[in-house]
Amino acid sequence: MSERIIKYTEALKEATEQMMEVDSSIVVLGLGVSYKNGADGTTAGLKVKYPERIFDVPVSEAGVTSMAVGAAINGLHPVVHHGRVEFALLAADAMFTQAAKWNYMFGGSNPVPIVIRINVGRQWGNGPQHTQALYSLFGNVPGLKVVIPSSPYMAKGLLVSALKEQSPVIILEPRWLFNLKQHVPLEVFSVELHRAHVINSGKDITVISYGDGLQAAREALELVGDHVSVELIDLVSINPIDYQTIITSVIKTGAVLTVDTTNESFNVGSEIIGKIVQEASVTLTRKPMSLSCPNVPCPTSTSLTESYYPTRVDIANSILKAFDKPLLDTNLTFEELHMAPAKTI
C-alpha cells in the first residue's frame, strides 16, 4: 500500500475536522476561518460542514480570545486561530492572565479547555514584525502548555491531543513548514504534548531543536554522514520541557548543540543548556554549543536574511568542527535560503 502524503496545513485541517466529528463542544474562531481556503487552508471547507461551529470574527484579537476563554470555562472547547503572533499579543491578557491562571485560582476544578493556534516565524519578505516567533515569551507563562509541531505528522497528532486536553494549549505553527509533506495516517491518533522525541539515535553529540529548526537539523545529519554519530531530539514542547529525555541523551553523548530559529537572547536553547550544566549527573566532554539568530530584528532584504537563520550547513559545520572533522564548503541556493520547503520528508 502506498503511503498517504499530505501537507502540514492539511494535517491540521484533518485533525480539526476529525475531532469536530466526535466532539460537539469544539468550535473554531478566527479571522477568515470561514473562507474557502481559510487560515492558510487549515479550516478549508469546515464552514460548509459545520455552519454553526465555525465563526469568522472581526479584527479584535483581545475580544475574540477573551470570549473564547469564557466559552471554555462554560463548557465549550474553542479553537482560536491567530494568523500573526504579533497580533495575538493583543490577546495577552486573555491567554496569559485569564486562561493560564483560572484553574489555579479556583481550586483546580475549573478547567479552561481552549486551544490557541498561532502562526509564527520566518517567511520571505515579511520583515522585522511578521517574522517574529517569540517562543520564550509563551514558554515562560505558568499554566499554559506550549507545543511546536515540526512536521505534518506531529501537527495532526499534537492538535488531536490538544483537543482532548482540559488545560489551555498554545500551538505555535512555523509557517516555514506549511508546505512540508509527509505520510500521515488517516485515522485519529495522538502525540503526547509534553514528550520530546528522539528522531535519530547517536553516541557522540546530542542536537536539540524544534519546529523549523528541527527540519534544518534533520538535513544537517545527512551532511555530517558517518563522521559523527548524532542523537537528534525534537523538543516538541517548550512548556513544559522534557528534561528527562534531554538529560538521558546528554549523559550518553557528553556533548550538546541547541538550534533555535529565533534571537540568541533568552531563547529556548539557552534555557536548556543552563539546565544541563546544573545537572550533577551530566559530565560534558565538550563545551555546550548553540546556534540561533542575531540579536536584531529579521531584515526584509534577501541579501541580509541569507545569513540570518541557521542553515543545515551551519549546523553540520558546528558538529564537524567540535570533533575536528573537515568542514563543508557548500553554498545554498536562493530558493533553499529564502523559499519555504515543499518537499516530502
- What does the pLDDT look like over 263-309, one tens digit per residue? 999 999 999 999 999 999 999 999 999 999 999 999 999 999 999 99
What confidence score (pLDDT) does residue 124 get?
A: 86
**pTM (two decimals):** 0.96
Question: Is a pLDDT exceeding 70 seen at residue 1?
Answer: no
What confidence score (pLDDT) does residue 14 get?
A: 98
Rounded Cα gap, residues 59 and 36, in angstroms: 19
Question: What does the pLDDT look like over 71-83, one tens digit per residue?
Answer: 999 999 999 999 9
Q: List every span in the chain annotated with CATH 3.40.50.970.
A: 5-183
pLDDT band of 125, cuts 50, 70, 90: confident
Domain 5-183 - what CATH class? alpha beta
Q: How many Cα atoms within 13 Å fall on the side-chain side of residue 187?
A: 2
pLDDT band of 205, cuts 50, 70, 90: very high
DSSP conformational letter for 344 = B
Q: Which of 260, 254, 303, 246 is nearest to 282 (CA)?
A: 254
What confidence score (pLDDT) does residue 117 get?
A: 98
At 173, which helix (H) or strand (E)? strand 169-174
Q: Which of 66, 4, 53 is nearest to 163 (CA)?
A: 53
Which SS3 state, helix, strand or coil, does residue 200 take? strand
Mean pLDDT of 200-228: 97
DSSP conformational letter for 96 = I
What confidence score (pLDDT) does residue 194 get?
A: 95
Q: List every span in the chain annotated with CATH 3.40.50.920.
A: 197-338
Question: What does the pLDDT look like over 220-257, one tens digit per residue?
Answer: 999 999 999 999 999 999 999 999 999 999 999 999 99
**Cα torsion 123, 129, 133, 138: sign:** negative
DSSP, residue by residue, 223-241: HHTTSS-EEEEE--EEES-
The maximal CA–CA distance of the chain, rounded, in angstroms, is 61
What confidence score (pLDDT) does residue 2 get?
A: 67
Mean pLDDT of 327-333: 94
What confidence score (pLDDT) does residue 153 get?
A: 98
Domain 197-338 - what CATH class? alpha beta
Question: What does the pLDDT look like over 92-111, one tens digit per residue?
Answer: 999 999 999 999 999 999 99
